[in-house]
Structure 1
């Protein structure tokens, strides 16, 4: 099977980066462009300015579906990330460019729909050729959905992996079953708290590097809740609260006067008696995920609290 415009494909690497255009990538981005997509090496090679380069739009996780709209002979595919809502950009999902080597056609034999998918709950894990065997695909992150390929054996679970003919294996306790029940806000907050100190990467959506709206999207994605990718769209998709009624796991939104929402954080404590507030967020200024009281300049741009 080959990739074809107008058909769906799936991501075959642990984390694929969605780019504004093939021409926008920089020499420092090379590790993220390979067939193996070494995101950890890529992130570690970025300086603080490169961490916020606007060439990155988002990231996609192993097994995530895209709609291919164009294939270029130089190895790039224009796609729509259909699992990342972005209504203002494209009603089908988030548009951008991926290296074709990081995609593979949908395999109907592993997409039967009879087995409910599993979700990676470990912050970062790896997929192996056999139980306790060599690692084949490192860097798989929390929130990744995998299709089971049979029962667990010796505390290892086989899963179907795009681009691999034989099942790969990971520790069974790194996975959880999907649930139709909506998570409590505190559960999503607990996932986000595991990403404290992860590097801030503009457009990042993984435990290797993440941005403010990516942190929110990924925390709820772990529980099967599909929030939009960008902060302003996340505000539209959630329920406003009166300031003062927020509780841990709710969301704070920030905007400058007359401008659209530019930042989001996750509430970590009820507001204090004098209105003091705390949040967990991927901080552009500090270039990492932090938990802190809202400083005065953040409070001045706080435009609302919302609940998922």
Structure 2
């Protein structure tokens, strides 16, 4: 089946990058634009300035749904990422561009009854057979996969978009459908596994991530769909009285008269002297860190919220 405007498609690569426009991509971005989308090579090829280029909007994981709105003759598709709420941009989801060959059409006649499994290891690969060659490398935590049968010798077959036959991964790299009401502490535990991951503006994977991407991905792993951007995440969560926050809650930051620009995950109750700690993807340090709030962060702290 071919991609068609007005119809849904799904991501067929481990991690696809959503761009502001085809014209905005840079020479350094080439590894992320191929049919295999080598995100690890893309991240490792960038310098610290290129890591925060504003040509990147977000990223999409293998199997994630999009609505195709335009197909260009040069191979680019304009899409809406329907699993990444972005109310201020489009009520349907996050809009942007990606290479059409990183998508595959949805078969409207295909049905499945098995509940999806979710990748629960930081990074894994999908193999042609148990212990066989890797067909799709770089699959990240939070990716949802449809089982294609029972586990066999510690390996599990899964259906993969764009693949004619099931692929395999280690069964202990997967988890069952998350609980209906996951806790904030569970989300924090997911995020803590991404400590030291490189900061990438618009990143949403264990290869590179930004501050709101870290929060979105941690909760996505647990089956909770939060908006993609920090200001929308604030609008979608419940404000707390400062001092009532607990591990797994969220801190939001804004400069006077400006919209929210940063988010972190609370890692400890406030100290008696008002000391606070958080885990966040830090623009300044260019990686995910856990730290006490320095004075300049405290000065821009505008609230604590709970999911």
TM-score range, shorter chain: over 0.9
Question: CA shift at 1:108, angstroms?
Answer: 4.4
Distance in 2 between residues matched to 1:224 and 1:74, nearest whole Å: 36
Q: TM-score, normalized by length of structure 1?
A: 0.99
Q: What secondary structure does 1:299 align onto?
A: helix
SS in structure 1 opposite 2:54?
Answer: coil
Shift in Å at residue 181 of structure 1?
A: 1.5
**Which secondary structure state, in structure 2, belongs to the residue aligned with residue 253 of structure 1?**
strand
Aligned to 1:151: 150
TM-aligned CA deviation for residue 136 of structure 1: 0.6
Aligned partner of 2:280 in structure 1 is 281
The question of 1:10 aligning with 2:1 is answered no
Q: Which residue of structure 2 aligns with residue 208 of structure 1?
A: 207
Aligned to 2:255: 256
| CA apart distance, 1:179 | 2.9
CA-atom RMSD in angstroms:
0.7
The separation in 2 between residues aligned to 1:215 and 1:66, in whole angstroms, is: 21
Equivalent residue number for residue 298 of structure 1: 297
| Structure 2: 5+ residue stretches without partners | none
Q: How many residues align?
A: 307
Query: Which residue does the alignment assign to 1:80?
Result: 80
Instruction: List, as ranges, runs of 4+ consecutive aligned residues in structure 1 with deviation greater than 3 Å.
Output: none
3-state SS of 2:234 partner:
helix
Q: Which residue of 2 aligns with 1:120?
A: 119
- Mind listing any 5+ residue stretches in structure 1 that lack a counterpart? none
Q: Provide the residue aligned with 2:267 in structure 1.
A: 268
**C-alpha separation between the residues in 1 aligned to 2:200 and 2:270?**
29
What is the CA distance between 1:180 and its match in structure 2?
Answer: 4.4
Q: Which residue of 1 aligns with 2:37?
A: 37
Report the alpha carbon displacement of residue 107 of structure 1 after superposing the two structures with TM.
3.1
List aligned pairs for 1:14-25, cutoff 5 A: 14-25=14-25
- SS at the partner of 2:58? strand
Aligned equivalents of 2:117, 2:169: Cα separation in 1: 12
**Superposition map of 1:182-197 within 5 A:** 182-197=181-196
TM-score (norm 2): 0.99
